[in-house]
Amino acid sequence: MQKIRKAVFPVAGLGTRFLPATKAMPKEMLPVVDRPLIQYVVEEAREAGIEHFIFVTGRNKSVIEDHFDRQFELELTLAERGKKSDLELLGRDLPGPGTTSFTRQQTPLGLGHAVWCARELVGHEPFALLLPDVLVQAKKGCLAQMIEAYLAIGEAANLIAVEEIAPDLAHMYGVVGVGKRKKQAFEITTMVEKPPRGTAPSNRIITGRYILQPEIFDMLAAQERGAGGEIQITDAMIRLSQRQPFYGLEFEGRTFDCGSKLGFLSANVAYALARDDIAPDFRAELKRLTGER
């Protein structure tokens, strides 16, 4: 089996749910505590052993590229002021030379189209796909858990991170059918995007983490526009599942949908409470704001 070396980050979305904040700043750069969303997701990929980080960008997204580059003026100022810890922090966050690539999705045609735009950079090898507005707070990163499960499966397969939700909410998500277990994962018997109430095959929903075989690009190249007039990744996966096996992994961790205001605010609270340098004072401030004693 080929090693998972590359990860794709689709960051071309308009972020309209966060207007006017995202009028001039990409939603992927919105801060959770003191780091932008995209930084957390890249760190998750790096922890999992990813060697090449591929960003699919759009207009007004150059700040993302700048974030993963050196800023000599800032570094010089920090050095002159003796801010060694800040310099070290910037160095730790910086990907190595030649490990990042950026390509443009010139027309907003959906997630499937964004993934297809990365085809030449990915090449003919399996790759990881991480949605940057989904954060997973876990002791071991979600993608690291997935790669471990993928290697244990022992065949060229596709793997999707899934989580369990209340059955009455399943109609709001992409849902998978649950088949036989294989090691840590289970066979996916079907995939349905936002099924009508009461018709979902299970209460396991698709989360924003995938390991996909390169044949997905063939599906996407021939994929017609689906819901919202966009090329949907789920539609392409359904077609690919007729040729290749798909598995689901119920990972350990808590998910935050930072594409919604509630999820974004919840992530800020959860990540702040997980920080030893912030949590005590922040917890006291939360009690004060909510009137608790």
Whether 290 is in a domain gets the answer no
pLDDT digits (tens, 9 = 90+) for 216-255: 999 999 877 766 677 889 999 999 999 999 999 999 999 9
Whether 181 is in a domain gets the answer yes
Whether 268 is in a domain gets the answer no
Q: Is the pTM of this model over 0.95?
A: no
- Could you give the number of structural domains in the chain? 1
pLDDT digits (tens, 9 = 90+) for 40-69: 999 999 999 999 999 999 887 888 988 888
Whether 29 is in a domain gets the answer yes
Whether 293 is in a domain gets the answer no
Whether 208 is in a domain gets the answer yes
Whether 123 is in a domain gets the answer yes
Whether 1 is in a domain gets the answer no
Range of the domain at 10: 6-259
CA distance 3 to 10: 21
pLDDT digits (tens, 9 = 90+) for 65-100: 888 888 878 888 888 888 888 888 777 878 888 899
